[in-house]
Amino acid sequence: QFFLDDKLFYTSGSFWVTGNNTNDEQFFDIEINNNLTAGYYNLDVHLVDARDLSARHQVLALDWVEFNNLPLETVYDDSYDDDIDVHVDQHGGSVGFGFIALLIIAGLRLRLR
């Protein structure tokens, strides 16, 4: 189920997710015909069980910067024609990039002295 600013606007057909396989992918091409005005919207995605409609997972605009204030324009002005990829997997993250950036900044400061 896809929500724009907390209003349901699209429900997909059912699809299979096989266990804990991280290779499962599902793609949606959605054309919005709800007479929405051009603007910025928060997009929330809710994964529900097709059998009993119980909630399985949520991807919320507050948690994902890609979905927060998502720019939507009319069909006649497609300057925001970017694909949005969402990978729903849970992990602790990495300090690798941040640590390397700090080392580079520290090295530059030492060179400038």
pLDDT digits (tens, 9 = 90+) for 4-48: 888 888 778 777 766 666 666 777 777 766 667 778 888 888 888
pLDDT recorded at residue 92: 43
Considering only CA atoms, which of 91, 88, 72 is closest in space to residue 80?
72
What mean pLDDT do residues 86-97 have?
50
pTM of the model: 0.52
pLDDT recorded at residue 90: 44
Least confident range of 24-28, 60-64, 87-91, 95-99: 87-91
Query: Domain map of the chain by residue range?
Result: 2-112
With tokens 């998502």, the residue in question is 70
Non-local (6+) Cβ contacts of 11 within 8 A are: 1, 2
